[in-house]
Structure 1
Amino acid sequence: MSDQIPIHIQEEIIKRLSVKPLLQFRSVSKAWKSLIDSSEFIAAHSSHHTHPQHLLVRYQDRVNSKKQYVSFLDDETFPKHRFVLTLPFSVQILILPRHVGSSHGLLCLYDGYLAVLWNPSIRKSIAVPVPNEKYVHHETVVGFGVCPVTIDPKIIKITQFSSWYWNETEINHPLKVEVYMMSSGKWKSLSLSSNLPSKSFRVRGSQVVIDRFIYWCALRYVSINGMLCTRNVIMSFNMSNENMGVVDLPECLASAYPYNTSLSIYKLRESLALHEYSNGVCVVWVMESGVVNNFTRLYTIRASHGPKMMLGFRESGKPIMEVKDHLIARGTLVVYDPNLEKFNDLEICGTGDFLFVNSYMETLLLHDRSDCSSN
């Protein structure tokens, strides 16, 4: 094949293959090994739209109370094609791990001291110690993403004031933001030239990665007549130039009181989606592609049985939700069809105490590292 077909044609063919045969094809020739190991090929393979999406679901088994990780193939066979994942040792040793997010096929988990980057497709992981300085009245938020330009995984650490500490003098100091790059294996502090927001911004909730940006829901604290008030915004981190930014929300969302309305963000295909939950009603908003600050109401979800929590979206755009029973507070994982206004049970025998859903694609990232290695 290599003697008859130009190398660029070979590349177009093999980048459509799944990860498992690609790892085997590295032994075919030096040219193929060099091609498959290159960051350009890994980037092209990770972003190729022919690869199916997988959905990772974490839950606690109702029988033995053990945490289970199940991966679903997100295609027409969903939810029948599923398999239980074997956790790497670096994930098993985490104490009360929190799922930070996913990007380019890597998942990030964090327990306050250690961040683990895990590629479930090839069963590889690396553990990264996170600096854990103790600041009075402060707390740490960790973000994660893979820069689509350099294919370099990055961990972002934000040190901010605690939610219970409302002091006008304190919150007006700049946030402390540190970035870890896997290529260098080092942490660095961002300077004020990175457009760091002031401490009057506080990150809250989970994150989402879209293209080169990491997004979080956040609160902006403002002083009105000597009283501290809040405004809902979205904070962003550009992985290419490492600048921070702020995305404003429509007035009806920006002014929503955080104790009455819950806001969370998700990736809906390649768009930023916002989930608004208030008084048992869920509203899904989406930011128009390429139009910053322009959010459109997509649909409203109403149901008479139990409170609902958004967990993510299928590739088809249908939301995955947890619906809890009013009496026993047991969570059920369902997929909502907005056209039929119907909930479909995923038939997972688990409890909602540890429910978590994240999507990921197959990737070659970390294939050249020993499992559980640490930079």
Structure 2
Amino acid sequence: MSDQIPFHIQEDIIKRLPVKPLLQFRSVSKAWKSLIDSSGFIAAHSALHTHPQHLLVKYEDLVENEDKYVSFIDDDTLLQQRFVPFVPLSVKSLRHSKIVGSDQGLLCLYGYHWGPGETTSVGFGVCPVANDPKIVEITQLRFWVDKESETTKPWKVKVYTLSSGKWRNVSTNLPNRSIRVRWLQVVIDRFIYWCAFHKSTTHTRNLIMSFDITDENFRVVDLPDSLAEHSQTELSVCKLRESLAMLQYSIDIGKHVCVVWMMEHGVQRLFTKLFSISSPHGSMTILGFRKSGQPIIEVKDDLSELSDLAVYEPNSEVEMNDLEICGRSNLFSVNSYMETLLLLV
């Protein structure tokens, strides 16, 4: 673009372009690269464009015994528009990798290294104020390591920010040491949420732990008694239409049942039961939701290591719409993403 055109007019023109051309135009000049990489430009570009949502499925192929990825466009053509995304070598080299979560088009993957005396929970989200991706890592002692001192051992919390490229310790405003945080997380707005439980000598009560990405404070979200007293291994958190949802699993008269609850407008202890899903033939896990609100479910064959992926459509002739993906049980994940200018460089 001619140097005779004022730079603010150049900016107004290029911010109307899609993501892929903008990534290429970063090499035009230092000024353009600096502009396109800036948080202000990224925010302005996001406000102008509505990017289609994609669903990234990660699973382990039983034949090749390796992780596979498939991406779908989350619209009415879900089954017709699928493709295999390019997976960088840095991702393939991760041992026992898990997708921690996704936020604003970015995915965070974690290579798991088992520590015999500790448990680690990880959260990921993008600070909405600075457009700065953050990772929070929580390390706690396992219960059987030192039962007498487990409630006196503090949490170890570290936060990584992409802008600094460094980890730093967080030692203030940490939760009660008797609260244990589980692995699965979800990010909504500026909060990361995990299922957690408070363990005392006589009682265990479920709760939700939140982490504010902006001010880096932890907070406890109390649950209604029906969820707080439920078996801790049969609860998980999820995002449904930009709201926090709880998934409650149980077995009722031989059927595997999942009840979906949604927190009302961020009000603690106020959860509304939305619907329930039952499976008479095998166990199931809700891995996520489409933007329409339809659950994406791993349907397990309890007599083998196989699972299939399906979309639950209660008002259709076939309630379980098979996505034609088969893999090893309990190793599926589904995350939503979109094109973004938030660059990992």
Q: What is residue 133 of structure 2 aligned with on the other side? A: 153
Q: Which AA in structure 2 matches 1:233?
A: L
Question: Structure 1: which 5+ runs fail to align?
Answer: 114-131, 370-375
Q: Deviation string for 1:96-127 (max 9, x for gaps)?
A: 112211112111111246xxxxxxxxxxxxxx
Contact 2:53–2:74 (CA under 8 A) maintained in structure 1: yes
Q: What is residue 372 of structure 1 aligned with on the other side? A: none
| 1:254 paired to 2:196 | no
Q: Give the share of equivalent positions with the same residue, in percent.
A: 58
| 1:272 paired to 2:244 | yes
Q: Distance in 1 between matches of 2:110 and 2:142?
A: 19
Q: Deviation string for 1:20-75 (max 9, x for gaps)?
A: 12223446677654432211222344566711111111122343333211111112
Taking a change above 3 Å as real, the CA distance of residues 32 and 291 of structure 1, as seen in their structure-2 partners, is farther
Q: Distance in 2 between matches of 1:244 and 1:183?
A: 22
Contact 1:46–1:361 (CA under 8 A) maintained in structure 2: no
Contact 2:120–2:183 (CA under 8 A) maintained in structure 1: no
Contact 1:96–1:111 (CA under 8 A) maintained in structure 2: yes
Contact 2:26–2:36 (CA under 8 A) maintained in structure 1: yes
Q: Which AA in structure 1 matches 2:178?
A: S
Q: What is residue 193 of structure 2 aligned with on the other side? A: 215
Q: What is residue 298 of structure 2 aligned with on the other side? A: 322
Q: Distance in 1 between matches of 2:56 and 2:97?
A: 15
Contact 1:16–1:50 (CA under 8 A) maintained in structure 2: no
Q: What is residue 338 of structure 2 aligned with on the other side? A: 361
Contact 2:122–2:183 (CA under 8 A) maintained in structure 1: no
Taking a change above 3 Å as real, the CA distance of residues 324 and 266 of structure 1, as seen in their structure-2 partners, is same
| 1:199 paired to 2:171 | no
- The structural deviation recorded for 1:239 is 0.8
* TM-score, scaled to structure 1: 0.81
Q: Distance in 2 between matches of 1:319 and 1:176?
A: 35
Contact 1:161–1:202 (CA under 8 A) maintained in structure 2: no
- The structural deviation recorded for 1:253 is 0.2
Aligned residue pairs, count:
339
Question: Structure 2: which 5+ runs fail to align?
Answer: none
Q: What is residue 237 of structure 1 aligned with on the other side? A: 211
Q: What is residue 143 of structure 1 aligned with on the other side? A: 123
Q: 1:284 aligns with which of 257, 260, 263?
A: 260
Q: What is residue 118 of structure 1 aligned with on the other side? A: none
Structure 2 counterparts to residues 4-153 of structure 1, below 5 A: 7=8, 11=12, 15=15, 17-26=17-26, 33-46=33-46, 50-112=50-112, 137-153=117-133
Q: Which AA in structure 1 matches 2:311?
A: V
Taking a change above 3 Å as real, the CA distance of residues 338 and 294 of structure 1, as seen in their structure-2 partners, is farther
Q: What is residue 294 of structure 1 aligned with on the other side? A: 270
Q: Which AA in structure 1 matches 2:60?
A: Q
- The structural deviation recorded for 1:201 is 0.6
After the TM superposition, which of the residue ranges 294-303 and 55-64 deviates more from structure 2? 55-64
Q: Distance in 1 between matches of 2:80 and 2:16?
A: 24
* TM-score, scaled to structure 2: 0.88
Q: Which AA in structure 1 matches 2:227?
A: L
